[in-house]
Amino acid sequence: MMKTNIPEGARRPHFWEAMLSLFSLVVGISISIVFYGLDPQIPMLLGVIVASLVALRCGFSWQNIQNGMVRGITNSLPAMIILLVVGVLIGVWILAGVVPTLIYYGLTVLSPAIFLPATLIICALTSLATGTSWGTTGTIGVALMGVGAGLGFPLPLVAGAVLSGAYFGDKMSPLSDTTNLAPAMAGTDLFTHIKHMSYTTGVTFGLTMIIEIVIGLQYSGGDGDLERINTMLTVLDENFVINPVLILPPLVVLFVSYRKMPAIPGITLGVIAGVICAIGLQGADYSAIANASFGGYASETGIEDVDSLLSRGGLNSMMYTISLIIVAMMFGGVMERTNQLKVIADKVLSMAKTDSSLIISTVLTSIGANLILCDQYMAIVMGARTYAQAYRDRGLAPENLSRAVEDSATVTANLVPWNSGGAYQAATLGVATIAYLPFAFFCWLSPIVTIIFGVMGWTITRAIPEDENVTENTVTPSADAATPAE
């Protein structure tokens, strides 16, 4: 999407000018989030204004600048459609009992003898089913913290297992907004992104599981207070028909993704399967399905843990992320169209001499963005959009970029005390960020494993040249191919 040609009457921006645009975005977002607790969209819009003023200074016409904004938004439209369908999917799956069934079966595997690995698995399943790490830690995670305390486990250790499982699901669930945002910013499609992440994420999760098992063997199980878990099981059983058949809709989505069906029809099939289950097993009518599809499912069991976990989803719930994508792509579009991002990328490329050094730079930049911008969404946006052209220029497929960004930006936000993720998790779990950081093995192992894969050249995918046959799931490295393939 980045244009390297300069229109007549314009000039190439200086490095300091390009950095001024980027600096305005970083400072604006940091001040808004840190000091005022505001959402990032408005400061990002101010960044768009500064980038536009810099472009005007460099001689670019307003039409060039506006075309950059429009082009950026246009390239993100497939991702926005996917987000809308995912919102519908979440609402329908909860109504159908799919999500409650996955949570129910996840909770039943809890055993004091294998508490830590069980906690890892339960949180991973819950986060996979709901697509939210915050929702998982705020409900199941809080319950497991109480159980862990009753069994004699140190709370920072339990918090680490909870967060490791929760962020595994946050990274790998097609329902997660970060899992949709990363490929949208990098220029690949959802299922290609998830498949490419499975290599590094699988290794990281395996290492985390081994560590949890080894540590868990050092603690003897106890009876513990399982009342909270039992209450949730009872409430789920009383309000939903729990049936193994309800595992089929997720299996449908997994199967079609394995068969490389494009994301939009694949997720739509999951919605249809959920609707069938909602009607056939839960007795839902048209009105209930329509309401859950648009506004999300509203749980009214009277049990706060269950209600806060299951009251979500719906098309309307995705509008926040969509507005974020629109403004981010406006900024990225101006930066790319007017060559400001290329100036920065060229500076980075002058130091990144190899593919591995580019991947390392991406990981470190994304982590640095979490430290500076205090928000994982901003870290994803900045990490991906800054390096997108550099990856295309080196002939690297965009899924390499989306993986490097999410393997670093998504999972390290909760490790920064002043980041919104770290502040939320510390307050929710009742453990200081610095205390649980060493035990959140998955979160800090993830970027390390990604760097190792990059240095060794493992599972690094090359972009297919334009003159070769391009499959429907492949994004070419051309300048206009920064959009998720359909």
Report the range out of 67-76, 203-212, 352-361 with the highest average pLDDT. Answer: 203-212
Q: Which two tokens stand for residue 12?
A: 């190439």
**CB-CB neighbours of 206 under 10 Å:** 11
The answer to whether residues 321 and 83 touch, using CB atoms and an 8 Å cutoff, is: yes
**How big is the CA angle at 3 (ends 359 and 331), to the nearest 5 degrees?**
75
Predicted local distance difference test score (pLDDT) of residue 118: 92
pLDDT of residue 448: 97
**pLDDT the model gives residue 80:** 84
The predicted model scores a pTM of 0.70
Integer Cα distance of 476 and 464 in angstroms: 6
Among 384-388, 390-394, 480-484, name the one with the lowest average pLDDT. 480-484
Contact predicate 413/370, CB 8 Å: yes
Delimit the domains of the chain by residue range. Answer: 78-317
Range of weakest confidence among 99-108, 397-406, 459-468: 459-468
The reported pLDDT for the residue numbered 484 is: 37
Compute the chain's Rg from CA coordinates: 22
- The distance from CA 186 to its chain's CA centroid, rounded to whole angstroms, is 13
Distance CA 197, CA 212 (A): 22
Phi, psi (degrees; rounded to nearest 5) at 215: -65, -40
Q: Is the pLDDT of residue 473 over 50?
A: no
Residue 189 in tokens: 């499609």
Residue 136 to residue 44: CA distance in whole angstroms: 29
pLDDT band at 260 (very low <50, low <70, confident <90, very high): low
Tell me the mean pLDDT in the region 232-260: 85
Count CB neighbours of 222 within 10 A.
14
Smallest Cα–Cα separation from 387: which of 354, 346, 339? Answer: 346
pLDDT tens track for 31-74: 887 788 788 888 889 999 999 999 999 999 999 999 999 988 88
- Indicate the Cα dihedral angle 79, 80, 86, 87, nearest 10°: 160
* Confidence label for 261 from pLDDT (cuts 50, 70 and 90): confident
In angstroms, the CA 249 to CA 244 distance is 11
Q: Report the alpha-carbon angle 303-309-311, nearest 5.
A: 90
Q: Residue 469 pLDDT > 80, yes or no?
A: no
The SS3 call for residue 15 is helix
Distances (CA, A) of 97 to 156, 264, 271: 33, 22, 13
Cα separation, 317 vs 323, in Å, equals 11
Of 213, 229, 223, 248, the closest CA to residue 97 belongs to 248
What does the pLDDT average to over 344-372?
82
The answer to whether 158 touches 144, Cβ cutoff 8 Å, is yes
DSSP state of 464: P
- Residue 485's pLDDT band, with cuts at 50, 70 and 90, is very low
Count of all residues that appear for the chain in the document: 486
pLDDT band with cut points at 50, 70 and 90 for residue 159: very high
- State the DSSP string of 106-153: HHHT--GGGHHHHHHHHHHHHHHHH--HHHHIIIIIHHHHHHHHHTT-
Residue 380 tokens, joined = 């994803």
SS3 67: helix
Closest of 94, 266, 83 to residue 180, by C-alpha: 83
Per the CB < 8 A criterion, the answer to whether 373 and 382 are in contact is yes
Considering the chain, what is the average pLDDT of its residues?
A: 84
- Which of the 8 DSSP states describes residue 477? S
**448 φ, ψ (degrees, to nearest 5):** -65, -45
pLDDT of residue 193: 95
Chain position carrying tokens 């909602």: 278
- 183, two tokens: 């490929």
Nearest to 288 by CA among 92, 467, 431, 100: 92
**pLDDT average, residue stretch 320-334:** 83
The proportion of the chain whose per-residue pLDDT surpasses 70, expressed as a percent, equals: 90
Q: How many whole angstroms separate alpha carbon 203 and alpha carbon 111?
A: 25
* pLDDT tier, 248 (very low <50, low <70, confident <90, very high otherwise): very high
What pLDDT is stored for residue 349 in this prediction?
A: 66
The Cα–Cα gap between 473 and 83 comes to: 18
- 257 has pLDDT over 80: no
Euclidean distance between CA atoms 82 and 200, whole angstroms? 24
Check whether 438 has a pLDDT greater than 90: yes
Q: Name the region of 296 (left: φ>0; alpha: ψ -120 to 50; beta: rest).
A: left
Predicted local confidence at residue 303, as pLDDT: 85
> How many CA atoms lie within 13 Å of 97's alpha carbon, on the beta-carbon side?
24
